[in-house]
Each structure stands twice: as structure tokens, then as C-alpha cells.
Structure 1
């Protein structure tokens, strides 16, 4: 069952897509979008998590720039998506996601345990939620720019799972190496490296989608979330 809700933050309010499990209750999950907004891909991801038993909520990250963005990873949409990404304030984004986290915890049927799962831009933000929020568990898919905040690794006190593409064209090899070295020092961080794969390998119908690797990563995510959210 899907619905829309409004989440209040200190600077205003923003919308979110909600997918609920058939049972009507379960742990919460803040699903953090890519640079394309709450598009069909993100709604499908939330729906899949709902089928797995989670109350999955996708907040509108770009509401401060342009509410209701829905783009794809091709043509002029791709150019617009990168424009929004370059204008996006990650620190304000984390503030919004912390507000979303609190709102999800208050949703009817939520068990009180809430995690995050993020992709691309959302993968970076899931990492920052691990360092700056009290989310119960966090999952990052091919986060871009994590190397700029490695000094925060020591702040992580709850489990974090990182899916890292071995040939991510948006993360330089040297940056990828620094990330792997830094997170290896924190036993709460689990890292999976996918050799030979490019950015967004788990985006269904995307230009770089790799079905076998996506299914492997998604299975690892569900196992991880089940272990830490119940």
C-alpha cells in the first residue's frame, strides 16, 4: 500500500512517498534517493522493501531547490540532475533526513527501529546519517563523495553497510582506496567491493545495471537490515 505524507523540518515541510508492508507494521526505512528525485525507480525500490516487511519512506531531497523532481538517467534529464546535485547542500540534507527519521519512527505501525538505505547521492547521505544521526542501521550503495568526510568515521556507533563499485566512474581509484582504508578501522562497518562494476550497477533499467551483482547486493542488504532492525 502506497501513500504520500508531509514531513516538517526546521525550515519548512517536504513530501515523501510511503510504501507499507501488507501486515501493516514493521521496522521503518528511510530510502534516500539518487540525483533523479522520487522517480519510478525509487518508488519501486520502496515498494520492494515494503514487500520485505518494512515501512519504506522516500523523502523529497530536492524540495529546497525544486519540489517534486522526477528524472531519468539519460538525455537532458541527466544534465538537470547533475545541476541539482551540484546545487544541493548535504548538511541541510542531513538535517532533513534526521527530521524524516523522526517522522518515520512516529508512523502508525512502525516498531520504532528505523534504518536508512541510500543510492548515489543517497549513498553518501546514508554514510552521513551513520556519522551524524541515531538511525539504527545504515546502508550505502555506491556513495559519491564519502572520501570528503572520512574524518567522521570515528563517530559511527551503529552498523553501516557499504556497497562499493570497483570501477565507479564517479569515485576516483585513489579516493576509493582512502575510503576502504578508513572504514576498515571501524568494526561496525561492513564493506562489499564489486570488482569491475561501474556506478549505479543496482539501478534497475539504468544504463549500467548488472542484474547478478544487483541481486547479490540487495540480498546482502536484506540480511543486514534483518539482523539490525528485526
Structure 2
């Protein structure tokens, strides 16, 4: 489908959050996918991923995940300076503030004329964690997480007992977890810990581990795996087409 793009500024308890919306040009109401970025915010690869998903008949919403900590429109570079700033932001913003961001998105887009009231979440790296975190909200019906960081290690600040790993049992929708076995950010022990938690809490989930490095979806840099990225897009589209029933 041919798509269009526009920005929406939302009020949140921690300030104005800009969301970029990618959606079909065609008239009608479509399911929504909240697409959470990596620590660099909405880079060109993130924008292309969002457009890819929107072209399959979804409203894809890309929030600025660190809107409290940067001027609106900030995009960090894929370099040491950008990585250092992004990691500082990641370890500064508590999960509770990400929760209130998600609620603001759900509240606004539930009433948007082009949305049908069905919601999923998707993300890469930090965004994979935030998609997993969003799945704690009962309005999220399906989730696709790509190499989600910090779930196993509980290294993003939050209140005691409010970490995403501990609250896994609250996830109600279907969830798909995708990992690279050569990813140093989530080692084998970390992946096994999350897998066991999903088993122990009897969640509805699928699990995929590939011979790939961290950020293998990012279509810039030497870790990009185009064939594997295409396979993952196909899996994500299939999940959301199945789980988000179009009105």
C-alpha cells in the first residue's frame, strides 16, 4: 500500500512527546502498531522499518522514546557520541515514564479517525524491551520484540518489583521474541532466563534464535543481514495480521 507520514504531538505526564505516524493513504480504519526505536530515536533505518510495516495496512506510530531528555526531533548518531548519550538516557528514564508514554499513545490513537482500536507493539534493541513492556497493558493484543535489551538484567530504573521481567505474567496478548545468538547484549544465559519466565508464567509466545549479531535488522552498518531482516518482517506482518482483526 502507498503510505503517508505526519507527526502528532502528545501531552504526557513528563512533557510533550512527538510521534511520527506512518499509515496507508487509502481511506479506512487500520490496526495500530506502536513501534519503539533503539536508543538513537527515529533514525533513517527506524523510519524505513516503520514505513515497511505501514505498507502492509497498519498505522505505525514511532514515539520519541526520550522526549523528556532531548529537544523534539533529536536523532542520535550511530557513533560513540550518540551511543554514549543514548545509553545515558536509557539509564536515566524510568520504566514508569515509558508506561505513561504508552498510555498517552493508546488514549490518543484509540480515537483517531484512521485507527480501528486494535493495538500491537514492536521494537528493536531498547525498543524491543519497550514493546515487551507495553504488552503489560491489556490493550496491546500482540507484540513483536527484536533482540530486546535489559529485560534479563533489570538495568533500566524502576520501582522495586516493577521491572519488566518480574511482571511478565501480566502479558495477555501473543508475543514473539527474536534474538541473535551472537548478540553480546543478551547472552545465552539472559535469553534462557527470559524463555523460562515466559514458560513459568504460561504466556502465549513464539521464540526465534538466529545466527546473527545485535542490530541485524538495521540496514546500515556491517551487522545488517538483509535476508534475515526480510524473514523477520514477514513474521511480524503475519503476527499482526492474525492478531489484530481489522474492523
- TM-score bracket, normalised by the shorter chain, equals over 0.9
Paired residues of 2:77 and 2:83 also in contact (CA < 8 A): yes
Q: Which runs of 5+ in 1 are unaligned?
A: none
Q: Which moved more, 1:151-160 or 1:56-65?
A: 151-160
1:9 has 2:25 as partner: no
Residue of 93, 107, 115 corresponding to 1:110? 115
Q: Is the 8 A contact 2:14 2:97 kept in 1?
A: no
Q: Which moved more, 1:182-191 or 1:1-10?
A: 182-191
What is the match of residue 190 of structure 1?
A: 206
Residue 196 of structure 2 aligns with which residue?
181
TM-score, normalized by length of structure 2?
A: 0.87
Count of residues in Structure 1 that have an aligned counterpart in Structure 2: 229
State the alpha-carbon separation in 2 of the partners of residues 164 and 96 from structure 1: 26
Length-normalised TM-score, structure 1: 0.93
**Is this contact kept in 2: 1:39–1:69, CA < 8 A?**
no
Answering whether residue 220 of structure 2 is matched by residue 215 of structure 1, we say no
C-alpha contact 2:141 2:172 (8 A) present in aligned 1: no
Q: Which whole-Å CA distance do the structure 1 matches of 2:14 and 2:132 have between them?
A: 23
Kindly report which structure 2 residues correspond to 1:1-230, keeping only aligned pairs within 5 A, or say none: 1-24=4-27, 25-67=29-71, 68-147=73-152, 148=154, 149-185=164-200, 186-194=202-210, 196-230=211-245
Which is bigger in relative contact order (C-alpha 8 A, separation at least 6)? 2
CA distance in 2 between partners of 1:74 and 1:33 (Å): 16
- Given that 2:146 and 2:178 are in contact with CA atoms closer than 8 Å, whether structure 1 keeps it comes out as yes
RMSD: 1.6
Q: Is there any run of 5+ residues in structure 2 with no aligned partner, and where?
A: 155-163
Q: Which has the higher helix share?
A: 1
Deviation at 1:133, TM superposition (A): 4.3
